[in-house]
Structure 1
Amino acid sequence: MKRFPKYIIPQILTGIVVGFTLLSAQAQQSKAPSYPLITHDPYFSIWSNTDQLNQSATTHWTGAEQALNGLIQVDGKTYRFMGHSEKVYQSILPAADEKAYRFSFTETAPKKEWNELNFDASAWKSGAAPFGDLWAQAGTEWKSSKLWAIRSFQLNDRIPEVVYLKINHDDQVEVYLNGLQILSKKGFTAGKYLYVPIKGAALKSLKKGNNVLAIYIQNTGGGQWLDAGLVTDDPVNNKKIILAEQTNRMIKATQTTYSFKCGGIDLTLDFTSPLLMNDLELISRPVSYLTYRVKSNDRKKHQVKVLFSASTDIAVNTSTQEIEAEQVNVPGLSVLKAGTTAQPVLQKSGDNVRIDWGYVHVAVPQSQKSSQFIAKGTASPALFQSGSNGLNTGKASGINQAKELNQATGNQTAGLNKTQGINNVKGTKYALNTVLDFGQVGQATKQQFVMLAYEDLESVQYFGKNLKAWWTNDGTRTFNSLLQQSAEEYPQIIEKCNAFDRQMYAAAVQSGGEKYAGLCVIAYRQAISAHKLVKSPKGELLFMSKENYSNGSIYTVDITYPSAPLFLAYNPELVKGLLNGMFEYSESGRWKKPYPAHDLGTYPLANGQTYGEDMPVEESGNMIIITAATVKAEGNPAYARKHWSALSTWAGYLSKEGFDPGNQLCTDDFAGHLNRNANLSVKAIVALGAYGWMAQELGETDTAAKYTNMAKEMAKKWMELADDGDHYSLAFGQKGTWSQKYNLVWDKLLNLELFTKTVYEKELKYYLGKQNKYGLPLDSRKSYTKSDWVLWTSVLTSNRSDFEAFIDPIYLYAIETPSRSPISDWHETKDAVRQNFTARSVVGGYFIKLLESKWSRSKEGNSNTKK
């Protein structure tokens, strides 16, 4: 047998290990409920909700359309690889998203003939369209249950052969054209326009001269809205587009990659949001990269151009808001920019709300062969027509559509640029277009990139003071300089992202296997981008969460608690950022109760709690436990010392009220109030033990002994009161009930040893008999679950097979759920259907197994923390 020299053997073994790690790291996640494309903060967050990138329009996480479209032209033939084939229409009678108009209306039942052509509505009120809620930018506020509206209009041109009613309504509606009914519909259009063909006698009733559109609408609950017009087909811009064949899809921590076959060309598209937690400046930059790589797949050479089109809907709350779009001068870059003309900075708050201040930017290096222009409507093959710079300067829809639109709406068309179309427009619903010209493409890969970015001007309001994003917290750094730096650093940033993606996946695989790693990949960008990073007036880092698709709170403590494991694993400074604002609220005297607040307000206004009810035991336990976890992660109790007074107040409260909680809410508030909640009691006990441990680390030996002994005695009493034979009950005194005791995980991770291992073992054995196809229910009351809590529960196991028994059903939920949105942490375990929540930061809790592995490998334990 051949022998290797001793000095070579370690190198060989190292090579095998490294090779295995790299190989494992290549196998990333390929399936998700929704695919992260642009992920930076609660407002700048764009996703694809179908497995094929060209199957649907991209959306904001709330579901509102924020279209990113992509076409590739190969030897003159056009393929769509991103976005959906949205039909383009020409307006006959513009709706409010194109042109301001007025309705005649009444909220009192009119005469029977109210919808006839010659009805006299001169006694009715007049109001600007659309009707609806003022917070949603309605032209006329509508609060009553019923509304009758008439829109008289003149037609002077030839009547088209095909006409559609264009309507956005909420909710039940009847529509008449010249007295003939053309629509009767229950329900609502979910904020989108419906296009209804007008046929038969109603179509024939259209004539030159006077016509009338009459609408009756009834509000039966929820929101209310009405806007309507008439359109016809636009054959020039509805040429059939071939769908590119998607051949691969891969999600990594910071990147989502798609591959396509487009005739003789292979296209790869990477979306990179460089959320690297060891670089606070970079994680704060609202700049994503779209990298396009093309090469021949048939050994022939092909002429290739790529169109990237970004809707200005990215910069509005509702599609009816007026936009101003323009070209801007940035040395070294070609840049398009768009934002609302109103710019209502920090003037609205809430959950299902999108930003309507600041500006979306599309930027490309001038060193690339590219062209930019602004157009109305969606991406179409006409935008590829030849011209002086690859664009049509005569018939080009991008130029002519915008020009005609401006003339129709009374706006002035800014200087037409022969090579770049229009450079300044006002109106609604534009597209910022970039054409990348790859020229002749052979078997060698060619690459270009585009930057999509958002300048929000002011990010959040913090106790009355507006704060800017971390990257420009003092306001001296310009967005143009940020774009320039982002372009210059592109190669290094992509390299860093690739390295981190491999490292994170390999670490997750090592911790919990490939399915666990897949869940971490799905969660990573979602968890981070549900926050905004700013600096407080005192100079402290604030990592401000938004309670997405729940109630829209900002800086919610029981969102911080489940989110923390990801940030504890990668950057404890961000965990401090999750806590600093709440400490400030209590320590400043603004919040006067002996336990923490639930939140600091409603995003993006952090001026004080707006949630209607306190969660005293819940939030006290959360703040103490996560502070202790921060101390452990840093190996230094300095952060606890800084806030020891507040921590002591909360520990004092728990010592009196925490063990046997009253009828109050916990973090699972959707389940309702619960008296004597056994899992909430566990949280209080663990928090008191954690407080005692921190006191020991600070040299407060008497306090340490007092609270450690208190917690241990409570734990013994808990085991007696909660005991229900082969498991522990949901609440003290409620025999025959059960719940996940996920709060026990911090007893294990902080090495507090308050509860005996028999508690873990008895509970886990019982849980394994209660699982459904898509996971372990939260408790005995319902069959739904919280996936973050299931992963916390899984960490209580002592072997891989039991761990996987909990993980596998959650992974199955992630890849089989019919609910296509950013992954929900609250789902039904029998059919995998989302139970309301989506896009929430709490999926950062998925990283708790990776955190456990990291801490267990650490050479420093609790006893080595620095005094």
Structure 2
Amino acid sequence: MFQNIVRFLAIFFFGFVSSSTFSPARPPSIPLAVRSPYLNTWLAVGGDEATGGHLAERWPRFYTGSINGWVGMIRVDGETYSWMGQPGPDPVTQVSVEYTSTKSVFTMNVNDMVEMRISFLSPIAPDDMKRQSLVFSYLEVEVAAADGSTHDVQLYADISAEWISGDLSALANWDYGAVDDVVYHKIFRQTELKYSESGDKADWGNWYWATGAADGVSYQSGEDNVVRGLFATSGFLESSADDNFRAINAQWPVFAFSHDLGAVGTHSQSVLYSIGLAQTDAIQFNGAGDVRPLKSLWTEYFGNELEALHFFHHDYSTASSMAASLDSKIEEDSISAAGENYMIITTLSTRQSFAATQLVGSLGQPYLFLKEISSNGNTQTVDVIFPAHPIFLYTNPYLLKLLLIPHFENQEAGKYPHDWAIHDLGTHYPNATGHPEGDDEHMPLEECGNMLIMMLAYAQKSGDWDFLADHYEMLVQWAEFLVDESLIPEHQLSTDDFAGKMANQTNLAVKGMIGLEAMSVIASATGHLEDADDYSAIAHDYIDQWLTLGIAHDESPPHTTLGYGLNDTYGLLYNIYEDAALGLDLVPDWVYDMQSSFYPFVEARYGVALDTRHDWTKGRYPTRILKPRLTGMPLARSDWEIFVAAVSSLETRNMLIGDIAKWINETTTDHPLTDLYDSKLGGYPGIMFTARPVMGAAFALLTMEGKAPVLQRQRASAA
């Protein structure tokens, strides 16, 4: 009661809750189990200031916002408290929340008697295909006396059948078992629908909720109120299984474990849980040959899913150590590159970016498939891989190769009728069945430029020039398209497709020119010297004309335009990032300097809007070209802002990165991290554009191998 009064007074007088601190920032949503497109569970922070970010007072949710029932309770000296999930007894007091690239840690106080440390670890192992292939996540709960006394403690945790499908009327089945010293609940749809989703949740595969077998461990499945109520009143479970298989929303079946920890003193005791999804067949792919199923890559390492579960649960020590090393590397590299604000962004983006991917195939030919989460669900979207690719270059360039290979298999097999690069490999994940009729969303110049740029970026980082040589003919096909189209772009979409089609896009044109210069380097490195000279000559000729067509020289201050001749417009010139990152030196230095000086003039509270189309109040563009929910917002794209920051002066870089970090700390929205938001007010358009892998762009500064600091020193001096 006293805690509720304190919370009310804090909100009334100060507008926020001070009982829990957040480090390194207070994000809009905290990643809990965020490991794949289907294991993707978060805790909302924004929205309700009274409960935001409090693990014991909000339901964990799938990235779409649907509830993933996940409840934790603790019983101390006969009194029961909630530590996770909205319903139940009085909540424990949340003291702090800390997130790293792979872990979210909650520190709790139980009535000044017991302290809890609750850690959600979604391990990322970029260099270890065996570990990275497993779609599992850890939850560890550590308990110790906080008052120097000894307390009788029991711990409880469950998940609901809501994890297995977004169709709450779907019939759920379940089982309880053990593999050696690991006990588990197995939950699945009674009728699987392979390669199908409901509400973006998978309709096939087996979910596992597991813990270690030990004295004092009991289990139970059954109706939520019954199972949870039994523990709340007694501190134990019956070690029994409900055999009434039923719909997910019929008396809400839950699957619980209870641990009797006995007398707990100042020496902490811990309980480890594992949660994850096992799918044998993960993707259907239209590559070379007929459409075929691709198995999850973990099936190459383990004889069955129970072996995989057992390995994962016992791998916690190693997984934690590897994750801690990655956390430290990202934190240290980020702070060294651009300071604390930059680290706030990279660490929050890491799990989200990797969680859009799934390793599949065989050891002989693995693939990394990616879902365009929340914006439309496409499979292997090129202009989503493109902004995401810096995180893969930073952690392991081989992963970028695994993302690109399916595109070459599909198009080199003649399964796409157009000359340009395909937009995606399937209208909806996990169906990578291609577009043999050519009916994908057409972004011809965008995707050709993206593919050429990413191929060169991969080869530069990995030294694997043979991969480029193997696909040289297809690369030439895309380059020839750029020769024809990049100087004067036709009426078409760019990656910012929500803004509609437009002709003569300045930023899109320069991507094509950079793509041609990238092709020149590719041609030279693969022994095609005549091609190299030709493509470079064309690129330089085009950029010379672009310097007149795309720049408002007479404006004050001068800047590049949204489109040729539209001198009272602007757009983020994010595509020149690749000119610097690849070391092409196609774009003159003065263009970088000019843009860097311009952005502060159009800065809003939370950054620089993507372009002038998005602020309809200026009256330059009809709102019909925008999706209705986006009109009226001066929209910022945080992924592209970081691309721009990477090639700006130190002052402008710090401004842009600081604005994004400020938005993360202040936004009232409560969905997972977005790449599209209102640069003035801080809101963003619903669930669209959240949890997307494009935030891998946050690593743009870390993939430039010292080029960015040099550029920034030069431009800071010039300014």
User: What TM bracket, shorter-length normalisation?
Assistant: 0.7 to 0.9
Is the contact made by 1:326 and 1:423 (CA closer than 8 Å) also made in structure 2? no
CA distance in 1 between counterparts of 2:364 and 2:284 reads 15
Counterpart AA for 2:75: Q
CA distance in 2 between counterparts of 1:793 and 1:82 reads 40
CA distance in 2 between counterparts of 1:44 and 1:808 reads 31
Once the two structures are TM-superposed, the CA of residue 425 in structure 1 deviates from its matched residue by 3.9
Match of 1:158 in 2: none
Task: Give the one of 166, 169, 192 matched to 1:343.
Answer: 192
Is the contact made by 2:398 and 2:462 (CA closer than 8 Å) also made in structure 1? no
SS in 2 for 1:361: strand
Task: Give the one of 526, 529, 542 matched to 1:701.
Answer: 529
User: What does 1:249-648 correspond to in 2, within 5 Å?
Assistant: 249-263=97-111, 264-346=113-195, 348-349=196-197, 352-367=199-214, 369-378=216-225, 380-386=228-234, 391=236, 419-422=238-241, 424-428=243-247, 429-463=252-286, 464-473=291-300, 477-535=303-361, 539-601=364-426, 602-609=428-435, 612-648=440-476
Match of 1:838 in 2: 690
SS in 2 for 1:769: helix
SS in 2 for 1:496: helix
Once the two structures are TM-superposed, the CA of residue 334 in structure 1 deviates from its matched residue by 1.1
Counterpart AA for 1:309: D
Deviation sequence 1:578-610 (CA, Å, 0-9, x none): 111111111111113211111111111110138
Distance 1:448 1:329, change over 3 A: closer
SS in 1 for 2:281: coil
Match of 1:97 in 2: none
Deviation sequence 1:552-583 (CA, Å, 0-9, x none): 10010100100000001111111011111111
Distance 1:54 1:489, change over 3 A: same
Deviation sequence 1:310-368 (CA, Å, 0-9, x none): 1111012211111111112322211111111111222x358x42112112111112146
CA distance in 2 between counterparts of 1:616 and 1:539 reads 32
CA distance in 2 between counterparts of 1:705 and 1:634 reads 24
SS in 2 for 1:421: coil
Is the contact made by 2:346 and 2:698 (CA closer than 8 Å) also made in structure 1? yes
Match of 1:3 in 2: none
Counterpart AA for 2:102: T
Deviation sequence 1:718-770 (CA, Å, 0-9, x none): 10111212112111122211111100001001110111110011112111110
CA distance in 1 between counterparts of 2:612 and 2:176 reads 59
CA distance in 1 between counterparts of 2:188 and 2:175 reads 9
SS in 2 for 1:422: coil
SS in 1 for 2:202: coil
Counterpart AA for 1:812: K
SS in 2 for 1:553: coil
Is the contact made by 1:818 and 1:832 (CA closer than 8 Å) also made in structure 2? yes
Once the two structures are TM-superposed, the CA of residue 677 in structure 1 deviates from its matched residue by 0.6
CA distance in 2 between counterparts of 1:699 and 1:435 reads 65
Counterpart AA for 1:484: H
Q: Which runs of 5+ in 1 are unaligned?
A: 1-26, 87-240, 393-418, 859-867
CA distance in 1 between counterparts of 2:573 and 2:669 reads 27
Match of 1:667 in 2: 495
Match of 2:630 in 1: none
Match of 1:710 in 2: 538
CA distance in 2 between counterparts of 1:318 and 1:749 reads 45
Match of 1:35 in 2: 30
User: What does 1:53-132 correspond to in 2, within 5 Å?
Assistant: 53-85=55-87
Task: Give the one of 745, 757, 767 matched to 2:589.
Answer: 757
Match of 2:90 in 1: 242
Deviation sequence 1:210-264 (CA, Å, 0-9, x none): xxxxxxxxxxxxxxxxxxxxxxxxxxxxxxx121000010111111100100120
Once the two structures are TM-superposed, the CA of residue 641 in structure 1 deviates from its matched residue by 0.9
Match of 1:398 in 2: none
Aligned length: 644
Is the contact made by 1:558 and 1:598 (CA closer than 8 Å) also made in structure 2? yes
CA distance in 2 between counterparts of 1:659 and 1:636 reads 31
Once the two structures are TM-superposed, the CA of residue 510 in structure 1 deviates from its matched residue by 0.7
Distance 1:30 1:762, change over 3 A: closer
Is the contact made by 2:521 and 2:532 (CA closer than 8 Å) also made in structure 1? yes
CA distance in 2 between counterparts of 1:499 and 1:630 reads 24
Is the contact made by 1:545 and 1:554 (CA closer than 8 Å) also made in structure 2? yes
Match of 1:45 in 2: 40
SS in 1 for 2:602: coil
Is the contact made by 2:25 and 2:664 (CA closer than 8 Å) also made in structure 1? no
CA distance in 2 between counterparts of 1:702 and 1:424 reads 72
Deviation sequence 1:138-189 (CA, Å, 0-9, x none): xxxxxxxxxxxxxxxxxxxxxxxxxxxxxxxxxxxxxxxxxxxxxxxxxxxx
Is the contact made by 1:786 and 1:827 (CA closer than 8 Å) also made in structure 2? yes
Is the contact made by 1:587 and 1:646 (CA closer than 8 Å) also made in structure 2? yes
Once the two structures are TM-superposed, the CA of residue 531 in structure 1 deviates from its matched residue by 1.3
Is the contact made by 1:532 and 1:545 (CA closer than 8 Å) also made in structure 2? yes
CA distance in 1 between counterparts of 2:345 and 2:433 reads 35
CA distance in 2 between counterparts of 1:824 and 1:421 reads 43
CA distance in 2 between counterparts of 1:314 and 1:521 reads 26
Is the contact made by 1:512 and 1:850 (CA closer than 8 Å) also made in structure 2? no
Is the contact made by 1:467 and 1:473 (CA closer than 8 Å) also made in structure 2? no
Counterpart AA for 1:243: P
Give the aligned CA root-mean-square deviation in angstroms.
1.9
Q: Which runs of 5+ in 2 are unaligned?
A: 1-21, 46-52, 615-633, 711-719
Match of 1:161 in 2: none
Is the contact made by 1:71 and 1:78 (CA closer than 8 Å) also made in structure 2? yes
Match of 1:829 in 2: 679
Is the contact made by 2:596 and 2:649 (CA closer than 8 Å) also made in structure 1? no
Counterpart AA for 2:230: A
Is the contact made by 1:817 and 1:834 (CA closer than 8 Å) also made in structure 2? no
CA distance in 2 between counterparts of 1:723 and 1:621 reads 21
CA distance in 1 between counterparts of 2:318 and 2:372 reads 33
SS in 2 for 1:740: coil
Match of 2:15 in 1: none
Task: Give the one of 645, 652, 655 matched to 1:794.
Answer: 645
Counterpart AA for 1:274: P
Distance 1:473 1:667, change over 3 A: farther
Match of 2:619 in 1: none
Deviation sequence 1:615-667 (CA, Å, 0-9, x none): 11011001000001001111331221121111111001101112211000010
Higher radius of gyration, 1 or 2: 1
Once the two structures are TM-superposed, the CA of residue 385 in structure 1 deviates from its matched residue by 4.5
SS in 1 for 2:173: strand
CA distance in 1 between counterparts of 2:401 and 2:218 reads 44
- Among the aligned pairs, what percent are the same residue? 27
TM-score of the aligned structures, taking structure 1 as reference length: 0.72
Is the contact made by 1:312 and 1:360 (CA closer than 8 Å) also made in structure 2? no
TM-score of the aligned structures, taking structure 2 as reference length: 0.87
Once the two structures are TM-superposed, the CA of residue 28 in structure 1 deviates from its matched residue by 5.5
